[in-house]
Structure 1
Amino acid sequence: MLQALREKTSGWIAVAIVILLAIPFAFFGMEQYLFQGGGNHVARVESAPSWWRTAPDWWPVRKLAWVHEDVSPEDFRFAFEQERQRQREEQGDAFDGLAFESADNRRQVLEQLIDQAVLRLAARNRGIAVGDAQVAAEIQQIPSFQVEGRFDPQRYQLALQSQNPPMTPRQFDERVREGMQQSLLPTHVAQSAFVTPAQIDRLMVLLGERRDVSFAVLPPMTDEAPVSDADLQAWYQANQADYRAPEMVTVEYIVLDGSGLQDEVVDEAQLRAHYEKESARYSEPDRRLISHILIEVPADADASARRAAEEKAKDLARQAQQGADFAALAREHSEDPGSRDAGGDLDWVEPGTMGDAFDAALAQMQPGDVSTARTEFGWHVLQLRELQAGTQTPFEEVREQLQRELGEGARERGFSELVNRVVDRAYRNPTSLAPAAEEAGLQVQKAGPFPRGGAPGVLAHPAVQRMAFSPAMVEDGTVSDPVETGPEQSVMLRVIEHSPERALPLEAVRDRVIAAVRADRARKANTAAAEAMVGRVADGATLAEVAAERDLPVQDVPGVPRGTSVPHPTAVEAYFRAPVPAEGAVSPGHVALEDGSVVVYAVSAVTPGNPAEASEQERQMLIQQLTMLAGGEAAQTLVRTLRARMKVTVNEARL
């Protein structure tokens, strides 16, 4: 049988069938195997190229012709850390680092990065570029890089080094360039939004609308009738989540406080050494007013193209040195779109802003000089128009500040050393807090049992609460790491007792259940009474007549505007939801308030707003607000539309 099978599968027909079956696997199965599994990216956005916008989404075509933008693991980590820092600053002590690490948060950050990649790809396909001067100007305007309103190169460098992970100026330049490039399309779309006069008038009619209202308030009812066991049990079963004992912990703890440590006395030599080390902080760098002409040199340019660019730059420099108008030369020859139309003007530049090559060339120039410099973008023809020399603050003027800084630094180091010694003792004795307390010269304190949010004193700090109720602390019973609760203050604790959240038996909450049943019956009775009053008014009786039967006063309020509280904002919202009454009729209704009372109302007239009564300032403010809303929606629609036309692939394993 095997011999027969071999003979039947070795003919030309069998070979043809195998080839036909191999084709789809080659084009589709191998794509998944070769290109998706090994991609070094968290997400990839692919689009048809600008020269073939209708290119089909077939693997060979997409692989050879489509262009793409990747979200790298580094991009994702950077964005995730930036979002972490933003939420930590926004939420303060309430920030929960563990909850932030959730998959939903990671995916939300990734979705934002994908939208940014979509915009970058769309900009690239449309030939949108951002010049060096625009990038430099944008960086200099970032407040965190400024000192007293001016760009500070040292603060710029320190800020980049403090990033997680650290960044070089060139990396940050490219990040800013990408941000500006991806923002151009949605920004211009948003700026194109507008609202018509008819829309403004219609909105003013609605916003300025007033309603004539009569209302009566049914006060909260009380219910003292007995509650049957059946009603008691039914309410308890339906609302068990309301009758649970919270999770509780009892802890022992110590508070490490460095505020009592003495500042170290600093001598003259230390002060002067610190002044020399930090001299850049007390100096203003030189500022140069420059213009430039950029002759681009692509990264893949050959030797002849590089030579041609160099010769052109040097020829333009010679022309400028011989008296040619530099601004005219820049407008004619510069390939920097950000400064070309301004005659090459880069405004005032400080060292460290434009890169080492710029700084080296400018350092050799005097006002009026023209020179050339080579950077990664190409050849630059530089013109130094004006020079402002830097200044240095004398040592004596900052002596007190230096003394304070060094003294505080010594105290902080002393506190840090204390914490390190205490933590070391705790690590050697993880199941007891006494050795750590002995090292710090403190007494172990005890608190509890207490629930989440119910701790006393320093233990109420959100970070301490998270630590006290963390599963690891509850299960292990070990000493915690120091939890920072303020400047030079930390808490170390150990959970000694724990009781989980549990359902309370009916007998333990019997009185609470009885009160809840009675409150519910009272609310329902009040609502039924209000509905009966509304029904009478709808049948033709006046609200005054119906209210008089219950000895309730009625208030008539003509011209109630939106946003007031007559007698409560919730009631006013209900007035404006009521239908416009017919001529000679009213629109009755009722609305329950949080305190258990019910407002029964009747809308008797509706007066539309008059756009002619609005001031020009009010109209312009409304136009601005509506335009911003419309622009924001248009920008979001643009991103959604662009993304729908592209192919997005997410590598879940790298999240």
Structure 2
Amino acid sequence: MLQSLRDKTSGWIATAILGLLVVPFAFFGMEQYLFQRNDTFAAKIEAPPTWWPSAPAMWPLTMLWQRDEISAEDFRAAFERSRQQQRQQQGEQFDPREFESIGNKRKVLDTLVDQRVLAMTAARAGVAVGDAQVRREIEKIPAFQVDGKFNPQRYQLALTSQAPSRTPRQFEQEVRDSLQQSMIPAAVAETAFVTPSELQRLLRLLGEKRDVSFAMLPPPPPDAGPVSAVDIQKWYDSHAADYRVPETVSLEYVEINGATLPAATAAADDDALRQRYVQEKSRFSEPEQRLASHILIKVDPKASAAEQKAAEAKAAALAQQARQPGADFAALARANSDDTGSKAAGGDLGWVAKDVMVKPFEDALYAMQAGEIRGPVKTEFGWHVIQLREIKAGKQVPFEQVREQLAREQADADRDRVFNDLTGKLVDQINKNPTTLVPAARLANLPVQTIGPFARGQGTGIAANLALQRVAFSESMIEDGTVSDPIELGPNHSVLIRVAQHTQAHQLPLAQVSQRVIASIRGDRAAKAQAAIADKLVAQVRAGMPLKELAAAQHLAASDVPAVPRGAPVPDKLTADAIFNVPPPAPGKVSPGKTILADGRAVVFAVSKVIPGDPAEASADQKASLQQQLSEMAGADDVEGLVKALRKRTVVTIAEDRL
């Protein structure tokens, strides 16, 4: 039998079958061995090659696709930045637990994906950002300015004091990337426009005025009529939610506030501050700066040798001219430089610190003497002629000038340390006995306080905090009666709670609320009677009877107000909105309407004339401002549509487990 099997599997037919089987295994199995990797991305964006935009998303064709990944670290950094922004905006209402929801994480990640998609699109389109543009953008940042002007020292200190610190080159790359990804959407937004006819139509609408007459009915008289038991039961059944007692809790809690801890007011120790000053000495040094100007002869890195040589020769000739006695370097720069960022200023680059310019330029600049002109100097942007006008030596800021800053930082660090240590001890003690706050409070010398009962959304003090309410009304806290984890109320401000008493929401019996039900029925009958009177008046006005005569017949005062402008509270905001919502009246007719005010009064009105706004009444500045607002709104819609269209052309893979 074995020989028979061997004979049947050794012929050309068996070989052909084996060959056919190899093909699918090669395409759908081998890549698992050849391309094994340990993925760490939070999101992966893949786009087809520019030369084949319709390439199908199937292996092995996906090997041709362009890829970008958002690492888990990038996502966490963006998520933390968003957390800080939300905390600053919401203050005590900030809910850390809600912020940690998967929906919010996806929202932050989607923003990052949109940014990367735009960056990929810009790179694929060949969009580049020059050094001059990056420099101008950085110089506009207020955090790097002193008296409204860019200050290199402030720039260096600001970067080193961040957590984590960044070098100027790293920050410049971030700015460059941000500018690159924003250039296409900015260009798209700038193309949005509003036609003159659209602007005229909107001006006529915004400036519209209406002639109106109105009469105000007094509040309805109290309804004192009898209410039957059937009506009472029917109202009670149909408005059951109005007669429920909400769920409530009473809490025991221990509050930990870093601002009131003893270490928060401890005096700073000079020896410790000096030691910190020595350890972080680089933060308080003023780097050497050089006042420089340059002339750039731009040349593409891919240019031919002849083009490169011609650009170098031009730069050499300009350098020679600049060295001549009495030569005006600024005039030469204005006439010849290709750097649009500095050309108009005569090539002035301002005070330049290290790690600001590209390396070949920086190396040449820092090898020069004051008053020297050097060139040509080759960089990726072309050939430079550099003038060093002045040198400002670096210096160390003395301890005395930064002592107060160090003391504040030390106090903050001490406060954080004491707060974290105390919180840790409390949690450790509670873990030993999670059903009571007393031992932990005694250990921390903090009081156990009580608050409540309160319902959802009705607490005061710390009970008004939404994060605390979510924990207090959670099923586990109510059922177990255990102490919660620390709930963050603010920076260095937390609270641990335990539900001491819980009352379920329940329906109040009819016998207990019968008087409230009767009052509601009578109030509803009075309101309906008032609305019926107003509806009758509206119907009579619509039939052609003058509102003034109808009002006089009911001893009501009617007012005629011509040319009521849009937005004017005549006679009140609710009625004013209704006046401009009714359709324009037909010739010889009026457009009536009514509103019921909060105090029960009714207003019946009749619009007799609509006066379109006159665009000529708007000033040139008002027209320009309105046109800009409309263009910006249209541009924002266009950019949103662009991003959606670009997302459809990419394949985005989300790693939910890494969020």
Q: TM-score, normalised by structure 2?
A: 0.78
> Are residues 1:187 and 2:191 paired?
no
Distance in structure 2 (CA, Å) of the matches to 1:431 and 1:576: 62
Q: What CA deviation, in whole Å up to 9, does each residue of 1:107-158 have, x standing for no partner?
A: 3333323332332232222211112443344344434555665442122133
* Shift of residue 569, structure 1, vs aligned partner: 1.5
Cα RMSD of the aligned pairs, angstroms, is: 4.9
- Mapped pair 1:588 → 2:592: yes
> What letter is aligned with 1:142?
I
Q: What is residue 288 of structure 2 aligned with on the other side? A: 286
Q: State the partner residue of 2:603.
A: 599
Rounded to whole Å, the distance in 1 between the matches of 2:654 and 2:424 is 43
- Shift of the 59–443 alpha-carbon distance from structure 1 to 2, 3 Å rule, reads closer
Give the 3-state SS of the residue equivalent to 1:87 in structure 2: helix
Cα distance in 2, alignment partners of residues 515 and 30 from structure 1: 80
Alpha-carbon distance change, 214 to 491 in structure 1, aligned in 2, over 3 angstroms? same
Residue 155 (structure 2) pairs with residue 156 (structure 1): no
Alignment check: 8 A CA contact 1:219 1:597 kept:
yes
Corresponding residue to 1:350 among 350, 353, 358: 353
What is the one-letter code of the residue matched to 2:86? Q
Any idea what the Cα deviations from partners look like across 1:539-586, whole Å, max 9, x if unmatched? 111112222343322111111000111112221121112121122211
Asked whether the 8 Å contact 1:483–1:492 carries over to 2, the reply is yes
Paired amino acid for 2:105: R
Does structure 1 residue 79 correspond to structure 2 residue 78?
A: yes
- Cα distance, 1:205 vs structure 2: 1.2
C-alpha contact 2:189 2:636 (8 A) present in aligned 1: yes
2:528 to 507, 524, 530: 524
> 373-382 or 69-78: which moved more?
373-382
Code of the aligned partner of 1:581: P
The residue type equivalent to 1:161 in the other structure is P
Distance, in Å, in 2 between the alignment partners of 1:142 and 1:189 is 24
Partner of residue 454 from structure 2, selected from 433, 450, 454:
450
| AA of the residue aligned to 2:82 | E
387-396 or 427-436: bigger deviation: 387-396
1:433-444 aligned within 5 A:
433-444=437-448
- CA shift at 1:525, angstroms? 2.9
1:624/1:411 CA distance change after superposition, 3 Å:
closer
Match of 2:326 in 1: none
- Deviation, 1:587, is 0.8
The answer as to whether partners of 1:531 and 1:590 remain within 8 angstroms in 2 is: yes
Cα distance change on mapping 1:309 and 1:582 into 2, 3 Å: closer
Matched residue, 2:91: 92
Aligned equivalents of 2:555, 2:59: Cα separation in 1: 84
State the 1:22 CA deviation.
8.0
Asked if 1:533 is matched to 2:537, the reply is: yes
CA distance in 1: counterparts of 2:284 and 2:657, whole angstroms: 49
One-letter code aligned to 2:288:
D
What is the CA–CA distance in structure 2 between the aligned matches of 1:31 and 1:225, rounded to whole Å? 86
Q: Which residues in structure 2 correspond to 1:473-512 (within 5 Å)?
A: 473-483=477-487, 485=489, 490-512=494-516
1:287 alignment partner AA:
Q
Of residues 214-223 and 58-67 in structure 1, the stretch that sits farther from structure 2 once superposed is 58-67
Summarize the Cα distance change of 1:630–1:264 in structure 2 as closer, same or farther, 3 Å threshold: closer
Q: Is the 8 A contact 1:42 1:650 kept in 2?
A: yes
What pairs with 1:261-300 in structure 2 (closer than 5 Å)? 261=262, 263-266=265-268, 269-270=271-272, 272-277=274-279, 284-290=286-292
3-state secondary structure, aligned to 1:599: strand
Distance change >3 Å, CA 112–CA 224, structure 1 → 2: farther
User: How far has the Cα of 1:215 moved from its partner?
Assistant: 1.1
Which residue in the other structure is 1:244 paired with? 244
Counterpart residue type for residue 249 of structure 2: V
| Cα displacement (A) at 1:194 | 2.5
Summarize the alignment of residues 5-154 of structure 1 with structure 2, pairs less than 5 Å apart: 41-53=41-53, 55-57=54-56, 59=58, 62-144=61-143, 150=151, 151-154=154-157
Say which of 366, 371, 376 aligns to 2:369. 366
Aligned partners of 1:417, 1:639: CA distance in 2, in Å? Answer: 47
Secondary structure in 1 aligned to 2:262? coil
2:30 and 2:12 map into 1 onto residues whose CA distance is 27
Name structure 2 gaps, 5 residues minimum.
324-328
Aligned in 2, Cα 1:103/1:463: closer, same or farther, shift over 3 Å? closer
More displaced, 587-596 or 64-73?
64-73
Pair 110,265 (structure 1): closer, same or farther in 2 beyond 3 Å: closer
Indicate whether 1:468 and 2:467 are aligned.
no
Q: Distance in 1 between matches of 2:101 and 2:195?
A: 45
1:326-361 deviation per Cα after TM superposition (whole angstroms, max 9, x unaligned): 998999999x99889999865443345458887676
Q: Cα distance 1:502–1:107, how it changes in 2: closer, same or farther (>3 A)?
A: farther
Percent identity of equivalent pairs: 47
For the residue of structure 2 that corresponds to 1:439, the secondary structure is helix
Contact 2:298 2:382 in 1 (8 A): yes
Equivalent residues of 1:253, 1:445 under 8 A apart: yes
Q: Report deviation, 1:161.
A: 0.5
Q: 1:106 to 1:396 in 2, by over 3 A?
A: closer
Counterpart of 2:391?
A: 387
Instruction: Provide TM-score, normalisation by structure 1.
Output: 0.79
**Would you say 1:565 and 2:569 are equivalent positions?**
yes
Q: Deviations over 1:479-521 (max 9, x none)?
A: 3444455676543332222234444444454444444444333
Q: Report the counterpart of residue 609 of structure 1 in structure 2.
A: 613
CA distance in 2, matches of 1:606, 1:17: 86
What secondary structure, in the 3-state scheme, does the structure 2 residue paired with 1:159 have?
coil
Look up the equivalent residue of 1:591 and give its one-letter code: T
C-alpha separation in 1, matches of 2:253 and 2:568: 51
The offset of 1:602, in angstroms, is 0.3
Change in 2 beyond 3 A, CA 1:605/1:381 = same
| Partner secondary structure for residue 496 of structure 2 | strand
Match of 1:566, SS state, is coil
When structure 1 is superposed on structure 2, of 596-605 and 381-390 the one drifting more is: 381-390
Q: State the Cα distance separating 1:434 from its structure 2 match.
A: 1.8
Query: Closer, same or farther in 2 for the Cα pair 1:407/1:91, shift >3 Å?
Result: closer
Match for residue 548 of structure 2?
A: 544
Kindly provide the CA deviation profile for residues 148-203 of structure 1, in whole angstroms up to 9, marking residues without a partner as x.
654421221332507xxxx7765554443232112111111222223233322222
What is the rounded CA distance, in whole Å, between the counterparts of 1:551 and 1:290 in structure 2? 86
3-state secondary structure, aligned to 1:479: coil
Counterpart Cα distance in 1 of 2:520 and 2:550: 30
Q: For 2:517 and 2:336, how far apart are their aligned partners in 1?
A: 85
Q: Cα–Cα, structure 1 residues 631 and 310, in superposed 2: closer, same or farther, change >3 Å? A: closer
Change in 2 beyond 3 A, CA 1:321/1:620: closer
Unaligned runs of 5+ residues in structure 1 are none
CA shift for structure 1 position 209: 1.0
- SS in structure 2 of the partner of residue 589 of structure 1: strand
In structure 2, relative to structure 1, the CA distance for the partners of 1:135 and 1:603 (3 Å cut) is: same
Give the Cα–Cα distance (whole angstroms) in 1 for the partners of residues 584 and 638 of structure 2: 33
* Counterparts of 1:386 and 1:77, CA distance in 2: 44
Change (3 A) 1:474 1:371: farther
